[in-house]
Amino acid sequence: MSETVTAPPPTGTISALAPKKRSRAARLLLGRDAIMIYALLVFVLYACISIPRFASPVTVGFLLLDVIPVLLIAMPMTLVIITGEIDLSVASIAGLTSALMGVLWQAGLDMPLVLAISVAAGVVAGAFNGFLIAVVGLPSLAVTIGTLALFRGLALVVIGDNAVANFPPDLTAFFTSKIGGTGIPTVMIGVLIVMVFFGVLLHFTPFGRGLYALGYSKEAARFVGIKVARSKFWLYVATGSVSALAGVYWTLRYSSARSDNASGLELAVIAAVLLGGVSIFGGKGSIPGVIAGVLLIGTINYALRLGRVSDVVLIIVTGTLLILSVVTPSIFASVRRWQHDRQVRNSLPQVTTSGSTRAEHPAH
Amino acid sequence: MELFHNHGTRSMRTRRILGVAALTASIALVATGCAGGGSDSGSTSGSGGGGDQTITFIPKQLNNPYTDVVLGGGEEGAKAAGFASSQVVGPLDASASSQVSFINAETQAGTNVIVIAANDPDAVCSSLEEARTGGAKIVAFDSDTNPDCRDVFISQVVAKDVALIQTKLISEQIGGSGEIAILSATANATNQNEWIKFMEEDLKANYPDIKLVATVYGDDDDTKSFQEAQGLLQAHPNLKGIISPTTVGIAATARYLSTSDYKGKVALTGLGLPNEMRPFVKDDTVKAFALWDPAQLGYVAAFAGKALADGTITGEVGDKFDAGDLGEKEVTDGGIVIVGPPTTFTKDNIDDYDF
């Protein structure tokens, strides 16, 4: 996209030199998202063939149950990273929610009330982040490193070193139940709603378009009338709320409320988001790509575990994959730039006799 | 000029065609590949139920020296008991929920016996239930799960004995009075908390002059334990002794003490591995500490799993099974199998042990 911008096409000659004038369909099929989806499909195929017992509905169920927390939080995280910010406190918010749920349930409150208060706590935690970042104007990295520790600390204060496990069996069973014989967990319906919500918000609303602008340049975004502070504030409220939902899910899926629940999850989420093609510098990325990224990491983890590959190898694989996913596009970009330059250089002798076109080329 | 136009459209068209081809090919391949894989898995799981029994050990975390010894005994036991294959899988961090996906993978793999040291007694429960529904037998060892979710629990020693030997050792070393602290593993570890509870009771009842001033958690992480030990001594200048009922904690604390001014002044005891503690016992940082032979734990767990899988025992109180070199073991109250009493290691006997 950026290359086409650098070559304003006043005449047919110049626009033909632009390396990427693809049709909409080609862009969809060859874009970063599509590559992630191909990678996912290829890996699923590979796992089906080479890993015994992978190809079964049981896999779908266990795999999705494993990735749901990451999948949930990755949705608002995508939006946050697209604006060029970050939220490292998500796992701690989930832990805090879990701790609160445990304590409130033990205190004898009704389940709906427990859930409402716990999710509300996540909203408040997110709003606190949002206030410091959007209103006070502090850098998000610093703020959320602080709240990463703060919220986890609060979770420890709330529940201490206890674990609450006596949640209603009907409810915990519901959280691990599957839809019929498909193996798809029932809670995926809720997750799907969250995915669609953030997908539509990012790709089909003016608010979402504004987030990309914000990621490219905050000043420019402000000049075109995007409410920078307000957008950021609501994004942090969104990460807080969805993290709370993930905390509720985590607690009921494992039927165990503890202060250390979901610890380290923030890095898994961010890794998956980046693998899904979102630029850490902001301005680039999409929800479908991120979903494919999350599922790819989840599938690799699950398949390797099923193949009894040690976790030591597993983290090396995930790390390498992440680095490759960041490095490969920039290699492609520089190869393309090199090809483009050569093309321009080769074409010069034929047209530069007049010297007029030469003046236009330095723009490349 | 025409040349450029042609060039552009051609590359665009080929790319588009390539894209469509790639997408169709991958979808087709996945569809057929998975169908083939599906029928494969059906036939293997069908035959798996017959003769060859498999056992899988799921420790609290991998790369823990103590766990490695337990697992070594387990693998030896699995071979002796006659399992066709034994596996070790497990998480890298000892968090509550990290074991669940491993249990799920084993359920799917159709493993006959799952031997687990639970990081959280309840978090693993629902997935263990699912494994049992699938026909697997569950043996808990080292750290128990909720008793409803396993068939038997292999305990090296009675929890109370482990606690009492540590309070006795610390009392001997500090002369029966003064401030002490406990440096434990994670705040939620089942076995740790049970021992700590018994220690607190024992101190109150039998050692009125010893005051427990702090309990800190090193999370079975060497660096964190080292820092916690350092912090304890700074926060409590009158501290006379530390009990660390975890092998990682006691080794880290001993390392700190041996290089500090507190060496020889602050007593240290707890549960440690002789091989790790040998230098600190030899240089008088540590006078005495306790442990059982962890390899026996895995060994008995493997035999218990075999007896359960063969149907010779069901985990009822009074059931007896043969545990190879260690003779006959009996299931006691609560489905617990006790392996043996803890051993005290001192300068005099430490060289007799190699684990």
> Quick one: B115 and B175 in the same domain?
no
**Torsion of the alpha carbons at B91, B92, B98 and B104, rounded to the nearest 10:** -20
CB distance from A177 to chain B under 8 Å? no
> Quick one: B171 and B209 in the same domain?
yes
β strands within chain B, DSSP E: 54-58, 85-88, 113-116, 137-141, 152-155, 178-184, 210-217, 239-244, 267-270, 288-291, 320-322, 328-332, 336-338, 343-346
Q: Is residue B272 part of a domain?
A: yes
Residue pair B293/B157 in contact by the 8 Å Cβ criterion: no
- Check residue B252 and give its pLDDT: 94
- Check residue A76 and give its pLDDT: 97
**Distance from C-alpha of A232 to C-alpha of A134, rounded to nearest angstrom:** 6
Q: Is the pLDDT of residue B24 over 60?
A: no
Q: Is the pLDDT of residue A195 over 60?
A: yes
> Quick one: B145 and B218 in the same domain?
no
Output phi, psi for A182, to 5 deg. -75, -20
Q: Is the pLDDT of residue B5 over 70?
A: no
CB contact under 8 A, A255 and B125: yes
CB contact under 8 A, A26 and B16: yes
- Check residue B2 and give its pLDDT: 41
> Among all residues of chain B, which has the CA nearest to that of A310?
B89
Residue pair B324/B77 in contact by the 8 Å Cβ criterion: yes
Q: Between A260 and A357, whose confidence is greater?
A: A260
Q: Is residue B197 part of a domain?
A: yes
Q: Is residue B23 part of a domain?
A: no
CB contact under 8 A, B126 and A260: no
Other CB atoms within 10 Å distance of the CB of residue B13 = 12
CB contact under 8 A, B108 and A30: no
Amino acid at A146: G
> Quick one: B321 and B287 in the same domain?
no
- Check residue A21 and give its pLDDT: 54
ipTM metric: 0.72
> Quick one: B86 and B204 in the same domain?
no
When mean pLDDT is compared across A11-25, A280-294, B70-84, B182-196, the lowest value belongs to A11-25
A34 chain-B contacts, CB cut-off 8 A:
19, 23
> Quick one: B149 and B213 in the same domain?
no
> Among all residues of chain B, which has the CA nearest to that of A255?
B123
Q: Is residue B192 part of a domain?
A: yes
> Quick one: B119 and B191 in the same domain?
no
Q: Is A81 helix (H, G, I), strand (E, B) or coil?
A: helix
CB contact under 8 A, A58 and B108: yes
**Distance from C-alpha of B124 to C-alpha of B143, rounded to nearest angstrom:** 12
Residue B103 to residues A167, A302, B110, B298, Cα–Cα distance (Å): 21, 11, 11, 18
Q: Is the pLDDT of residue A20 over 70?
A: no
- The residue-averaged pLDDT of A327-331 equals 79
Domain ranges in chain A? Answer: 1-30, 43-309
- The residue-averaged pLDDT of A217-245 equals 94
**Distance from C-alpha of A182 to C-alpha of A188, rounded to nearest angstrom:** 12
**Torsion of the alpha carbons at B197, B202, B203 and B209, rounded to the nearest 10:** 170
Quote the domain boundaries for residue B222. Answer: 159-291
Give the distance from residue B327's alpha carbon to the nearest chain A alpha carbon, in angstroms: 32
Of the pLDDT bands very low, low, confident and very high (cuts 50, 70, 90), residue B38 is: very low
A43-309 — its CATH code?
Answer: 1.10.3470
- Check residue B8 and give its pLDDT: 44
Q: Between A243 and A36, whose confidence is greater?
A: A243
CB contact under 8 A, A311 and B36: no
Q: Is residue B8 part of a domain?
A: no
Q: Is residue B148 part of a domain?
A: yes
Residue pair A263/A156 in contact by the 8 Å Cβ criterion: no
CB distance from A123 to chain B under 8 Å? no
CB distance from A157 to chain B under 8 Å? no
Residue pair A183/A59 in contact by the 8 Å Cβ criterion: yes
Q: Kindly state the helix (H) or strand (E) to which residue B251 belongs, with its residue range.
A: helix B247-258
Of the pLDDT bands very low, low, confident and very high (cuts 50, 70, 90), residue B26 is: very low
- Check residue A16 and give its pLDDT: 44
- Check residue A328 and give its pLDDT: 78
CB contact under 8 A, A54 and B37: yes
Which of A305, A339, A340, A346 to mutate to probe the B interface, most B CBs <10 Å?
A305
CB contact under 8 A, B16 and A48: no
B146 chain-A contacts, CB cut-off 8 A:
165
Mean pLDDT of chain A: 86
Q: Is the pLDDT of residue B242 over 90?
A: yes
Q: Is the pLDDT of residue A15 over 70?
A: no
- The residue-averaged pLDDT of A356-360 equals 46
Of the pLDDT bands very low, low, confident and very high (cuts 50, 70, 90), residue B36 is: very low
Q: Is B328 helix (H, G, I), strand (E, B) or coil?
A: strand
Q: Is the pLDDT of residue B113 over 70?
A: yes
Q: Between B188 and A358, whose confidence is greater?
A: B188
Residue in this structure with the two tokens 């701790």, named with its chain if needed: A99
A29 chain-B contacts, CB cut-off 8 A:
16, 19-20, 22-23
Q: Between B215 and B158, whose confidence is greater?
A: B215
Q: Between B351 and A72, whose confidence is greater?
A: A72
**Distance from C-alpha of A203 to C-alpha of A207, rounded to nearest angstrom:** 9
Give the distance from residue A10's alpha carbon to the nearest chain B alpha carbon, in angstroms: 14
- Check residue A12 and give its pLDDT: 43
CATH of the domain at B219: 3.40.50.2300
CB contact under 8 A, B19 and A26: yes
CB contact under 8 A, B4 and A311: no
| Of the partner residues A55, A160, A254, the one whose CB lies closest to the CB of residue B37 | A55
- The residue-averaged pLDDT of A291-307 equals 91
Amino acid at B183: L
- Check residue A349 and give its pLDDT: 66
Count the domains in chain B.
Answer: 2
> Among all residues of chain B, which has the CA nearest to that of A61?
B104
Enumerate residues 6+ apart whose C-beta is below 8 A from B290.
B162, B165, B166, B169, B269, B270, B271, B342, B343, B344, B345
β strands within chain A, DSSP E: 178-179, 184-185
Output phi, psi for B179, to 5 deg. -90, 135
Give the distance from residue B80's alpha carbon to the nearest chain A alpha carbon, in angstroms: 23
pLDDT tens readout for residues A106-115: 999 999 999 9
Give the distance from residue B184's alpha carbon to the nearest chain A alpha carbon, in angstroms: 12
CB distance from A301 to chain B under 8 Å? yes
CB contact under 8 A, B105 and A306: yes
Q: Is the pLDDT of residue A259 over 70?
A: yes
Q: Kindly state the helix (H) or strand (E) to which residue A328 belongs, with its residue range.
A: helix A311-351
- The residue-averaged pLDDT of B171-179 equals 93
A25 chain-B contacts, CB cut-off 8 A:
16, 19
A79: left (phi over 0), alpha (psi -120 to 50) or beta: alpha
Q: Is the pLDDT of residue B15 over 70?
A: no
Of the pLDDT bands very low, low, confident and very high (cuts 50, 70, 90), residue B7 is: very low
Domain boundary among B274, B291, B308: B291
Which of A29, A44, A65 to mutate to probe the B interface, most B CBs <10 Å?
A29
> Quick one: B300 and B152 in the same domain?
yes
Of the pLDDT bands very low, low, confident and very high (cuts 50, 70, 90), residue B11 is: low
CB contact under 8 A, B41 and A45: no
Winning range, highest mean pLDDT, from A242-246, A306-310, B91-95, B281-285: A242-246
Of the pLDDT bands very low, low, confident and very high (cuts 50, 70, 90), residue B331 is: very high
Give the pair of three-digit tokens for residue A146. Answer: 């602080």
CB contact under 8 A, A62 and B26: no
pLDDT tens readout for residues B219-235: 889 999 999 999 999 99
Q: Is residue B83 part of a domain?
A: yes
- Check residue B28 and give its pLDDT: 45
Asked whether the whole model's pTM tops 0.90, one would answer no
Q: Is residue B238 part of a domain?
A: yes
| Of the partner residues B4, B187, B217, the one whose CB lies closest to the CB of residue A17 | B4
Give the pair of three-digit tokens for residue B223. Answer: 């660096």
- Check residue B23 and give its pLDDT: 46
